[in-house]
Amino acid sequence: MNNSYKQRKCPPGLNSTYFLLLILILVSSTTFPLQAAYQNPILNVLLVDSSAGLFISNPKGLTLSRNGTVIGSAEQVMITPDSPHRLLINKKLKNKGVITITTTGETSVLNLDSHLKRRYLGTFTIKPFKGGLHLINHIPTESYLEGVLNAEISTRWHMEVVKAQAVISRTFALFKRQKQSQQPWHLSADHFDQVYKGTDIADERGKSAILATTGIVVGFRGQLAQTFYHSNCGGMTADPGNVWQYKLPYLKIREVPFGNKDPRYHWQATIKNREMVRIFKSAGIPINHVGTLAISKRTRSNRVHELTITGSTSHTLSGNGFRKAAGYKRIQSLLFNINRIPEGFQFRGTGNGHGVGLSQWSAKEMAEEGYKYHEILYYFYEGIELMRHQE
C-alpha cells in the first residue's frame, strides 16, 4: 500500500485537517478502487450435529417460527429429534420440518450430546434428519470472524498478523459461501472448515483487527481466492496438488525462513509395532506384521508422498492417508523421517499442518520483524490482489 502521504506537508492556506482527510480519501481510492458499499454478507454456519438435542436460551426472548408463521416464544426452549422429519419442542409439541429461531443479542446453546455450552449472535434454523438434528447459525460475516480469530490463532499476537488472519478467514468463509450457495449451510464450525466458537472467544483486539480490515478479501483475477492456511510450514510451503489433487496458481512451493520460534516446530512421535498394524488396517491395508516402513516417494517440498510397508506382503500408502490414519496431532506434518527401533518406529519432523498457503507461526514472526499485514499476504499468496468484497 502507498503510504507516501505521510511525508507530504500541508500547502499554505489549506486547513490541515481537511488536507489530511483529502489525502486519506485519495490513498483509499488508489488502494481499493471505488466500489459499492460492502454488504457484510450473512453466513450459514453448521454449529451442531446432535442426536440428543439442544437447550437454547436468551433473556431477551426467542421467537420460534415454521414457514414464516410464529409457533411460540420463550426465553428458553429444549428441542429434541423425534423422527427424520419431526422435532419435539419442550418434549411435547411436535413440529414437522424446520424451525427458525429469531432473537437479538447473545444466545446460549447447550448441546445435549456433549454438554458443551457456547454463546452466539445471529439467528438460527434447526433441521431434523435421520438420527438427530442440525443447528445452523445465520450470522453476518464480520460478527462471525469475532468467533474465529482466537480459535485459529491468538489475538495476543502482533496486530499485523491478527489483521492478516482476519482477511484470510473472511476470504475463506466468503469463498465457501459462494461455492455452497445452494446448500443448507456454507461451512461448518469445526476444523474441517474454520473453527468458530461464537462470542465466548471474542475480544477487543480481534474486533479491532476485523474493523481495520472490514470487507477486505484476497482476490485473484477478480475472483475470491482460496486462502488455505495452516499452523507451521516447517520451512517450506506445500503444493495443494499434493494435498487435494488440484493446483492453484497463487499457491506455490516456497522456502520460508520464518516460524522456527514455534515451540512445536520440531516434533517426534513413537508408534509401537502393534499399534502400527492397527493404523494400517484402519487405512485399508490387510497386514498383521510391519517389518519395514520406508519413504518411497517425496514431493517437491520434501514432504512424504508415499510409504512402502513390508511384512508378509508389501503395500504402499499415501503420506496423507498415513497421517490421517495415525492422527493429525501425532504426525503433525508430512515433513518427517523414520527410524526403526526395537519396539516400533520413531518419527521426527518439522512443522504442523498440511503446509498449503499461509503459515501462521511464520506470519507471526514476520509481523514481529516489521512486516505489515498486506505484505504478509502478498508473501504467501503469489500474484493476488486485496480488494473490497462485492456480491
Mean pLDDT by 10 residues, the chain (391 residues): 33 37 38 68 97 97 95 95 93 89 97 96 96 97 98 98 98 98 96 96 98 98 97 97 92 96 97 96 93 97 97 94 96 98 97 98 98 98 96 81
Candidates 227, 217, 348; CA nearest to 295 is 348
pLDDT score recorded for residue 245 = 85
Q: Write out the three cell numbers for 340.
A: 526403526
3 state SS of 118: strand
3 state SS of 182: coil
Candidates 255, 252, 258; CA nearest to 383 is 252
Rounded CA separation 368/159 (Å):
9
Strand boundaries in 311-373, DSSP class E:
314-318, 336-341, 344-350, 358-359
pLDDT score recorded for residue 14 = 35
- Continuous H helices in 224-271: none
Rounded CA separation 295/190 (Å):
31
pLDDT score recorded for residue 28 = 43
Contact 217, 386 (CB under 8 A): yes
pLDDT score recorded for residue 388 = 96
pLDDT score recorded for residue 26 = 38
pLDDT score recorded for residue 27 = 41
Candidates 306, 307, 309, 308; CA nearest to 273 is 309
Rounded CA separation 265/321 (Å):
22
pTM tops 0.85, yes or no: yes
Rounded CA separation 142/389 (Å):
12
Q: Where are the domains of the chain?
A: 1-31, 52-130, 153-257+357-388, 266-350
Q: Which residues lie closer than 8 Å to 359 by C-beta, 6 or more apart? A: 229, 230, 231, 232, 233, 237, 256, 258, 259, 351, 353, 380
